[in-house]
């Protein structure tokens, strides 16, 4: 562009030149001062700047740290620590030496923070936590900066509200979560407790089942034994009962013709054999067990329970080999299931004399002596006489 072609007066040109000097010279001075200093890094002064320096200084009476910031490519974000109430100032000075913003205990507070210092041309998003400080570059920028800061302030309020809302919501949710966690804990404990109880009941049931099974097996065995015994005993009793009338008649007859010595001996009978009574005298399954069964091995000597005369000796059906001894006119004793006899019909025997040997002849389910006491031929409980 050719200067001569500009429609400009001398006065205007003079004014422009003056403005050029006034607004341009500080930049020249600043540039001279900056020369050789590192960019975007703090340098720390070890001497007071003193009066009459080439450029303005925030405070000539303080040692300070300074950094030249290049905001061309992107914002610079210095972080100020919390000074816990102590006074500090981070003055932001533009190319003309004007303090366009100040971070410090009197302006932003002493709690510190990160501050984004943005160049005039920079456009972009900043994290919410950053305070934005715009470097103004003339009046237009100033307006824009004011508008931008207002927008940021509105946004801040919005963000603050949103954060507050979110914080309240988070608090509610934390409370809810704590409730849920507590419930979960309770439920877990309840489940554990129930599991333990179920396990205990299960153990008990298994124990009971085993006991029941073993008891059932025992009972089954016992029942089988009882059935077997009962069959045998019923058979035994039936067989013996069949002979009752015959034995009774024989003994009654013997009593009437009793001609032996009428005496009682000791007055009590002796045991014909030594052994446990495995079946007592009395009614069983509707039948009379006419004597007592004394368990003894086969071949055991049988002794006369008292002195007397042998009135019956021989095979008597279910009784097998059977001997009866008349002791008095009314009383007699009988011995059944013998293997062999050791006396003879009509013989006199003394108390304790061996009259035969035990076995299981006739209707019998195991070696024993079936021993009877009869009064006038009718069986009575031998236990009353032994």
Interaction site with Zn ion (CB under 5 A): 293, 370
Task: Give the whole-angstrom CA distance, residue 238 versus residue 235.
Answer: 5
To Zn ion, the closest distance from the beta carbon of 244 in angstroms equals 12
To Zn ion, the closest distance from the beta carbon of 359 in angstroms equals 13
Whichever of 64 and 284 has its CB closer to Zn ion, that residue is: 284
* Runs of H (alpha helix) within the chain: 10-34, 139-256
Whichever of 76 and 336 has its CB closer to Zn ion, that residue is: 336
To Zn ion, the closest distance from the beta carbon of 292 in angstroms equals 7
At 311, give phi and psi (nearest 5°). -110, -15
Whichever of 289 and 309 has its CB closer to Zn ion, that residue is: 289
To Zn ion, the closest distance from the beta carbon of 276 in angstroms equals 14
Whichever of 135 and 243 has its CB closer to Zn ion, that residue is: 243
Whichever of 167 and 230 has its CB closer to Zn ion, that residue is: 230
**Residue with the CB atom nearest Zn ion in the bound state:** 370
Closest CA to 309 of 260, 351, 252, 352: 260
To Zn ion, the closest distance from the beta carbon of 201 in angstroms equals 51
Q: Is 376 exposed, middle or buried (0-12, 13-18, 19+ CB in 10 A)?
A: middle
Record the tokens describing residue 263, joined without a space. 């005496």
Whichever of 328 and 339 has its CB closer to Zn ion, that residue is: 339
Whichever of 100 and 371 has its CB closer to Zn ion, that residue is: 371
Task: Give the whole-angstrom CA distance, residue 165 versus residue 173.
Answer: 12
To Zn ion, the closest distance from the beta carbon of 319 in angstroms equals 9
Question: For residue 298, what is the DSSP state?
Answer: T
Q: Which residues partner with 321 through β-bridges?
A: 315, 338
Size of the chain in residues: 386
Whichever of 122 and 365 has its CB closer to Zn ion, that residue is: 365
Residue pair 101/59 in contact by the 8 Å Cβ criterion: no
To Zn ion, the closest distance from the beta carbon of 378 in angstroms equals 16
Record the tokens describing residue 85, joined without a space. 């109430």
To Zn ion, the closest distance from the beta carbon of 279 in angstroms equals 6
Spatial neighbors of 61 by CB under 8 A, at least 6 apart, are 48
What string of DSSP letters covers 114-167? Answer: EEEEE-TT------TTPEEEEPP-SHHHHHHHHHHHHHHHHHHHHHHHHHHHHH
Task: Give the whole-angstrom CA distance, residue 119 versus residue 145.
Answer: 11
């Amino acid at each position: 562009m050719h200067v001569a072609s500009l429609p400009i007066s001398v006065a205007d040109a003079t004014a422009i030149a003056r403005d050029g000097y006034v607004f341009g010279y500080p930049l020249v001075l600043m540039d001279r001062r900056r020369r050789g200093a590192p960019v975007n890094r703090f340098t720390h002064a070890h001497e007071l700047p003193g009066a009459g320096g080439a450029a303005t200084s925030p405070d000539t009476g303080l040692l300070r740290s300074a950094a030249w910031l290049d905001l061309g490519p992107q914002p610079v974000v210095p972080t100020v620590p919390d000074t816990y109430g102590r006074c500090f100032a981070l003055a932001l000075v533009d190319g003309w030496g004007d303090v366009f913003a100040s971070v410090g205990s009197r302006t932003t507070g002493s709690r510190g923070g990160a501050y984004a210092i943005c160049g005039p041309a920079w456009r972009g998003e900043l994290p919410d936590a950053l305070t934005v400080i715009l470097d103004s570059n003339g009046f237009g920028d100033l307006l824009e900066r004011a508008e931008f800061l207002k927008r940021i302030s509105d946004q801040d309020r919005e963000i603050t509200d949103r954060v507050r809302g979110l914080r309240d919501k988070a608090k509610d949710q934390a409370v809810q979560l704590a409730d849920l966690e507590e419930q979960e804990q309770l439920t877990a404990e309840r489940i554990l407790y129930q599991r333990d109880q179920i396990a205990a009941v299960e153990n008990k049931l298994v124990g009971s089942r085993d006991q029941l099974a073993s008891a059932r097996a025992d009972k089954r065995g016992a029942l089988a034994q009882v059935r077997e015994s009962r069959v045998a005993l019923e058979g035994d009793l039936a067989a013996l009962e069949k002979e009752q009338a015959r034995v009774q008649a024989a003994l009654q007859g013997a009593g009437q013709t009793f001609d032996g010595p009428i005496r009682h001996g000791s007055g009590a009978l002796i045991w014909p054999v030594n052994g446990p009574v495995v079946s007592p005298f009395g009614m069983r399954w509707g039948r009379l067990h006419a004597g007592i069964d004394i368990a003894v091995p086969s071949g055991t000597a049988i002794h006369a329970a008292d002195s007397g005369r042998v009135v019956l000796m021989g095979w008597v059906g279910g009784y097998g080999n059977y001997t009866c001894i008349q002791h008095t006119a009314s009383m007699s004793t009988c011995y059944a299931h013998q293997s062999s006899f050791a006396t003879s019909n009509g013989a006199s025997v003394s108390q304790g004399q061996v009259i035969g040997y035990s076995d299981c002849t006739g209707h019998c389910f195991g070696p024993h002596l079936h021993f009877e006491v009869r009064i006038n031929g009718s069986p009575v409980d031998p236990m009353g006489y032994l």
